[in-house]
């Protein structure tokens, strides 16, 4: 429909640098499988159950804020 406004698509340019730097090894950001307009977190190989990542960098948000 020509009256529909274009949908903004999230790109790597929208991701703060500290987030990109803080990604664990073998984890990448690619288009989400759930919402193609957003980025999702993808593992490039299996991650063992209980694997811990960190330290956390950035601002913690409540679920209702994201």
Domain boundaries, the chain: 10-39
d(CA 3, CA 25): 43
Instruction: Tokens for 8, please give them.
Output: 């903004």
**Whether this model's pTM surpasses 0.85:** no
User: What pLDDT does 6 receive?
Assistant: 78
Q: How confident is the model at residue 28 (pLDDT cuts 50, 70, 90)?
A: very high
Query: Does 54 or 46 have the greater pLDDT score?
Result: 46
User: What pLDDT does 7 receive?
Assistant: 82
Instruction: Tokens for 16, please give them.
Output: 């703060």
- Please give the sequence-ordered ranges of beta strands (E in DSSP) within 7-61, or none if there are none: 27-31, 39-43
User: What pLDDT does 25 receive?
Assistant: 83
Instruction: Kindly provide the b/e burial profile for residues 7-26, where b requires at least 16 CB atoms within 10 angstroms of the residue's own CB.
Output: eeebeeeeeeeeeeeeeeee
């Amino acid at each position: 429909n020509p009256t529909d406004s274009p949908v903004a698509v999230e790109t790597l340019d929208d991701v703060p640098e500290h987030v990109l730097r803080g990604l664990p090894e073998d984890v990448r950001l690619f288009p989400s499988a759930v919402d193609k307009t957003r980025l999702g977190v993808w593992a490039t190989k299996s991650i063992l159950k209980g694997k811990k990542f960190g330290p956390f960098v950035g601002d913690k948000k409540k679920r209702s804020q994201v």
